[in-house]
Amino acid sequence: MAGKKSSDSFFSRSFRFLKRLFIILFLAQLIYIIVLKWVNPPFTITQLVSLATGDGLKRDYVSIEEMSSNARLSVIAAEDQLFPDHNGFDWKSIEKALDYNKKKPNRVRGASTLSQQTAKNVFLWQGRSWIRKGLEVYFTAMIELIWGKKRILEVYLNVAEMGKGIYGIEAAAQAYFKKPAAKLNRIEAAQIAACLPNPAKYTVRPISRYVVFRSAWVIRQMSNLDGDPDIQVLIFDRQKSINQDEKKWK
């Protein structure tokens, strides 16, 4: 009887400990998500791996107001043209990707939105495991709920890998064009956005053939999206939008 009571006591204590640990971790990550609505991530797992593997770490966080409209529009055009409209997930693209991957399992196609990519870059590690994907769904839903689209875009442009050891649009602008992100023109922004599927492989400087052809496509897509009012809200600051509207009526 004593042995049974001791065993029951052990499992009971273990369960209470795990329960408390789960509650603490849940509250900690929730507080972290809320804090990041206003504060930039101190580091990401991908950035730490970059440092550990010798690729270095070049980054310079800037506010969205310090990013040119071209920089903002280019990543939407290249990576997620439905960004203003979805709730974090592009279900049609996900279905198409799943069908494609069933037919061609050796050539995996992704369908991640900017929101999903931001969640992965900020909170998780690189990889394709189902555990990571499940966590990505959770964090994507949370940042959509708590941060909103403009903050998601701002964080994405600050943490996304844009070259070997280069993270964020400001570091990329300085590394490739010797200018701040606020001064990027349409061609420069499109070239940076064109490398995003695989920045280590598709280089901006020296410019790879892939970036040459894809950046031309990105520029065309940027022109197509120029008049979209929902995108205008994201790529222009409020005062700039007011000034533009005033010019149209003059």
10 belongs to a structural domain: no
Return the H-helix or E-strand segment holding 59: strand 58-59
87 belongs to a structural domain: yes
1 belongs to a structural domain: no
Residue with tokens 């804090």: 35
Single pTM value for the model: 0.86
Residue with tokens 């959509």: 144
Mapped onto helix, strand or coil, the DSSP state of residue 60 is coil
8 belongs to a structural domain: no
Distance from C-alpha of 35 to C-alpha of 120, rounded to nearest angstrom? 17
183 belongs to a structural domain: yes
Q: Residue 72's pLDDT is what?
A: 98
Give the contacts of 61 (CB within 8 A, at least 6 positions apart). Answer: 40, 158, 168, 170
Q: For the packed helices 130-146 and 149-159, what is the interaxial angle rounded to 10 degrees?
A: 130
Q: Residue 190's domain spans which residues?
A: 43-51+66-244
Distance from C-alpha of 148 to C-alpha of 41, rounded to nearest angstrom? 16
Distance from C-alpha of 170 to C-alpha of 157, rounded to nearest angstrom? 8
Kindly report the CATH number assigned to the domain that includes residue 74. Answer: 1.10.3810.10
At residue 113, φ and ψ (nearest 5 deg) are -80, 170
9 belongs to a structural domain: no
The Cβ of residue 36 has, within 10 Å, a number of other Cβ atoms equal to: 18
- The secondary structure of residue 218, as a DSSP letter, is H
Alpha helices, H only, 112-208: 114-123, 130-146, 149-159, 169-177, 186-194
The per-residue pLDDT string of the chain (250 residues; one tens digit each, 9 = 90 and over) reads: 555 556 667 788 888 899 999 999 999 999 999 999 999 999 999 999 999 999 999 999 999 999 999 999 999 999 999 999 999 998 887 777 556 455 545 444 456 999 999 999 999 998 888 899 999 999 999 999 999 999 999 999 999 999 999 999 999 999 999 999 999 999 999 999 999 999 999 999 999 999 999 999 999 999 999 989 999 999 998 645 444 443 443 3
CB 73 within 8 A of CB 222: yes
Distance from C-alpha of 7 to C-alpha of 42, rounded to nearest angstrom? 43
As for how many domains the chain has, the answer is: 1
11 belongs to a structural domain: no
7 belongs to a structural domain: no
Alpha carbons within 13 A on the beta-carbon side of 55 = 18
The tokens describing 161, both together, are 């890998």
